[in-house]
Chain A
Amino acid sequence: MATDAPARPAAPPKAPEQTAARGRGRRSRSHLGRFAVFGAPGLMVYACFVLAPVVVSVAYSLTNHNPFSPPTEFVGLRNFELLFRDEEFLQSLKVTVQLTAILVIVPNAAGLGIALLLDRKGWFYNAWRAVFFVPVVLSSVVVSLVWTRLLADDGVVNQALGRVGADPVGWLSDPGLALYSLAAIMAWQMLGFCVVVYLAGLQSVPGELLEAAAIDGAGVLARFRHVTWPLLAPALTINTVVLLITAFKAYDHIQVITNGGPGSGTTATVAFVILQTGFTANRQGYASAMALVMLVIVASAAALALKLLQRREVDL
């Protein structure tokens, strides 16, 4: 009976392109599925802990939110208007910029110098590398407590100065000096990180390039300037961006060493003022506006630094 049935027209043969396109579509869906399986948990965590707080901060920044003084009202851009007339915030911006300038330049320069000295083989140099790296792994609070004692009015540093006949210095109590003391402590802690990154960079400089330059008659300085330094560009980028972000986020050292003082705001960074405003004065709407301004500044500064420094890497 089946034989009597009119034969169905045979399906036209599939074009090879069509088959390939379907195959590509299946593969692409399969890739998408795999990406979703492995990527979704991470994306969800990122969305919950990074994106959601940013979105919530944006929403809060447009309100007068104070958890202890309801109701919360929409105030539009008023927080941002007030911010740029707020002496405390402007002072904290100034302090942050000063701290950042010191923290980006000093450990970078000193780290490069030390890395050049330690770029040799042997247990002696390995031991020194470890010595320089130890502060990096210490907690900021521990480092801060130790330095607070060392720099106290009757601390070891002033006692040493006293022995050579010098007057004690108000390292942390002199408003003109406290920020520099704080920056020096933070620079000291970050120095080891820069040293290690520069050492890694130095060890990736091909020896034959240096040899070729030497054969061409280049001296030590010329070899550094024309061979080593350009090849250290990626290390410089990493150090600069990490130091930039560290300086902008500075909070724990300040909390432990100076509490933003001496006096009102002489060492208070933007991050410190945000926490004080949000959690001590309870003005969380206003603090969110500060946090957003800080986010924009940090993101812009990091992007600019990356762009400038990476261009140098590309131009090699």
Chain B
Amino acid sequence: MHTSRRAVLTAAAAALTLSLTACSVDEGAGTSDPAGKRQITFLTFETPNLTPEYWNAAIKRIEKKYPDITVKKLVAPTTDRTAYAKQLLASGQFPDVMIAVAPTGLGDAGNLYAWQPDELGDFQVPDGGAIDGKVYQLPANTQSIPVVYYRKSMFKQAGISAPPRTYAQLLDASAKLRAKGIQPFVVGGGKDGFPTVLPLTGTVATDVYGKDPDWMVQRRAGKVKFTDADFVGALTKVRQLARRGYIDKKMVSLDYAATEQAFLKGKGAMYPMGCWFAAAGDKSAIKDDIGVFHWPTDDGSPLASGYTGGGLSVNARSQHLDAAKKFALAFQLDKSNLDNSVRSDALFPAVKGYTPPADTGPVFKETYDLWREASEQKATVKAFAWETGGDALLPGLDAKVHAAAQDVIIGRRTPEEAAAFLDTEWDKAS
């Protein structure tokens, strides 16, 4: 009887211990080994540009610099690393360091470390992506989103002598391409969603942010709505491109990698994408056939949209906060890493005194020069649905914007209906 009671108690204690262990929340997944080496976890994501080899080499470089730190690489299952970071947070496995994770929601809730001004001294835009004055993501690079890559040979075949500068010229060029049997635009989406939104990011830049650069701040304050005429106008332009067949609605099922391949294989003449495409363009056999232009404005004045941010963030509750910060800053400022980010992902490092390597390809150089000229003319605005700071979309709204853009392209909603849908989703999220 005693034996039985003891056994019951032992079993109950073991089960309770097991359950408590399983239910406990881990604050920062890092560990230390007896030799004093600190292991931190680092959330990355993979794309055709950012391969496993790219990440492994970049991590190894910093591990070599700091032998007391070892890094366990995590890879997000899709390009939506922000959603994955949130899942990890909810399950008590929030990584110590993460890259290009949108800090909105995560940072202001105290999950991310707020970088101090003295730690941001090497960055060109130290307050890039700030939320209520606090920077949770290193403002490491600038990305121009979108620019329109085009095939020079296809333009020539259609009798187009120069890339369009006005929206009317864009329509005219598209008509000429179509008349020659060439699909004007390659616009995908699929499981990645974001490739669909790039034409809309372009039209919002020219028709909305060009008139009011603080439009998203006004939206957050409830002073403007998606159903306002300018925003509906931006959606209408996208609808117009799809209705005329310039954007092929069948292509929206292509994911990001397949969309890029479609353009490189000549399935269309124009490819609205972020500047990171330049890396893939330069690696391709057709690099000399690729040109680039800004999404055209109505009056032909140059206007570029983009954002500065996209760097590493650190878990505020990391067990090895110092190691995580040290790794993040070193990763972000290491010259070899920066050069490789230019070569592999065509990023524009926003680090003081940095100049891109001289051996970059023609597509990168043209894209970089285009952004630099626009910056010098102060003709830049934020990239709609790509902002990450306090003037970004509300958490979760980017997926709704991708869906709304797809609805407009496939004709499932009118521009007015899509705008109303976004206002409804905004109200639900706020």
- Pick from A37, A70, A257, A281: contact of B11, CB below 8 A: A37
Q: Give the chain B neighbours of A278 by CB distance below 8 A.
A: 90
- Contact flags B230-258 to A (C-beta < 8 A → 1, else 0): 00000000000000000011111111001
Residue contact B90 to A279, C-beta cutoff 8 Å: yes
**A98 interface hit (Cβ, 8 Å):** no
Q: Give the chain B neighbours of A40 by CB distance below 8 A.
A: 8, 11-12, 15
- Pick from B4, B18, B192, B428: contact of A37, CB below 8 A: B4
**A261 interface hit (Cβ, 8 Å):** yes
Complex Cα distance, B191 from A186, in Å, reads 17
CB distance from B424 to the nearest CB of A (A): 8
- From B38-46, B213-221, B402-410, give the one contacting chain A: B402-410
Residue contact B5 to A282, C-beta cutoff 8 Å: no
Residue contact B251 to A173, C-beta cutoff 8 Å: yes
CB distance from B101 to the nearest CB of A (A): 13
**B356 interface hit (Cβ, 8 Å):** no
CB distance from A203 to the nearest CB of B (A): 40
- Pick from A36, A262, A280: contact of B399, CB below 8 A: A280
CB distance from A35 to the nearest CB of B (A): 9
**A109 interface hit (Cβ, 8 Å):** no
Q: Give the chain A neighbours of B396 by CB distance below 8 A.
A: 276-277, 280-283
Residue contact B14 to A41, C-beta cutoff 8 Å: yes
Residue contact A68 to B105, C-beta cutoff 8 Å: yes
Residue contact B253 to A170, C-beta cutoff 8 Å: yes
**B210 interface hit (Cβ, 8 Å):** no
Residue contact A173 to B250, C-beta cutoff 8 Å: yes
- From A47-55, A110-118, A290-298, A299-307, give the one contacting chain B: A47-55
Residue contact B19 to A258, C-beta cutoff 8 Å: no
- From A9-17, A190-198, A224-232, A263-271, give the one contacting chain B: A263-271
CB distance from B412 to the nearest CB of A (A): 4
- Pick from A36, A263, A279: contact of B406, CB below 8 A: A263
- From B81-89, B313-321, B328-336, B343-351, give the one contacting chain A: B81-89
**CB nearest neighbor in B for A149:** B258
Residue contact B403 to A261, C-beta cutoff 8 Å: yes
**B189 interface hit (Cβ, 8 Å):** yes
Q: Give the chain A neighbours of B108 by CB distance below 8 A.
A: 68
**B170 interface hit (Cβ, 8 Å):** no
Q: Give the chain A neighbours of B250 by CB distance below 8 A.
A: 153, 168, 170, 173-174
Complex Cα distance, B396 from A30, in Å, reads 56
**Which residues of A140-177 have CB atoms within 8 Å of chain B's CB atoms?**
148-149, 151-154, 168, 170-175
Residue contact B90 to A259, C-beta cutoff 8 Å: no
Complex Cα distance, B399 from A154, in Å, reads 26
Complex Cα distance, B23 from A172, in Å, reads 40
Q: Could you tell me the dominant secondary structure of chain B's interface residues?
A: helix
**A43 interface hit (Cβ, 8 Å):** yes
- Pick from A36, A86, A153, A276: contact of B253, CB below 8 A: A153
Q: Contacts A41-B11, A47-B19, A266-B412; is A279 near B4 (CB within 8 Å)?
A: no
Q: Give the chain A neighbours of B400 by CB distance below 8 A.
A: 264
Q: Give the chain B neighbours of A29 by CB distance below 8 A.
A: 1
**CB nearest neighbor in A for B412:** A263
**B190 interface hit (Cβ, 8 Å):** yes
- Pick from A45, A174, A265: contact of B19, CB below 8 A: A45
Q: Give the chain B neighbours of A255 by CB distance below 8 A.
A: 78, 191
Residue contact A37 to B8, C-beta cutoff 8 Å: yes
Complex Cα distance, B363 from A194, in Å, reads 53
Residue contact A33 to B19, C-beta cutoff 8 Å: no
**Which residues of B126-168 have CB atoms within 8 Å of chain A's CB atoms?**
none
Q: Give the chain B neighbours of A45 by CB distance below 8 A.
A: 15, 18-19, 22
- Contact flags A74-88 to B (C-beta < 8 A → 1, else 0): 000000000000111
Q: Contacts A44-B15, A280-B83, A282-B105; is A258 near B412 (CB within 8 Å)?
A: no
Residue contact B253 to A152, C-beta cutoff 8 Å: yes
Residue contact B253 to A69, C-beta cutoff 8 Å: no
Residue contact B258 to A33, C-beta cutoff 8 Å: no
**A67 interface hit (Cβ, 8 Å):** yes
**B372 interface hit (Cβ, 8 Å):** no
Residue contact A173 to B253, C-beta cutoff 8 Å: yes
Complex Cα distance, B255 from A151, in Å, reads 12
**A34 interface hit (Cβ, 8 Å):** yes
Q: Give the chain A neighbours of B111 by CB distance below 8 A.
A: 68
Residue contact B86 to A279, C-beta cutoff 8 Å: yes
Residue contact A154 to B191, C-beta cutoff 8 Å: no
Complex Cα distance, B8 from A41, in Å, reads 10
Q: Give the chain A neighbours of B86 by CB distance below 8 A.
A: 279-280, 282
Complex Cα distance, B239 from A263, in Å, reads 13
Complex Cα distance, B22 from A52, in Å, reads 12
CB distance from B427 to the nearest CB of A (A): 11
Q: What are some 12 contacts across the A-B interface (CB < 8 A)?
A: A29-B1, A37-B7, A41-B18, A44-B15, A48-B23, A67-B90, A168-B250, A175-B412, A257-B191, A263-B407, A281-B395, A282-B396
Q: Which residues of B contact A (CB under 8 A)?
A: 1, 4-5, 7-8, 11-12, 14-16, 18-19, 22-23, 78, 80, 82-83, 86-87, 89-90, 105-106, 108-109, 111, 189-193, 248-255, 258, 262, 267, 395-397, 399-400, 402-404, 406-407, 410, 412-413, 421, 424-425, 428-429
Q: Which residues of A contact B (CB under 8 A)?
A: 29-30, 33-34, 36-38, 40-41, 43-45, 47-49, 52, 67-70, 86-88, 148-149, 151-154, 168, 170-175, 178, 255-266, 276-284
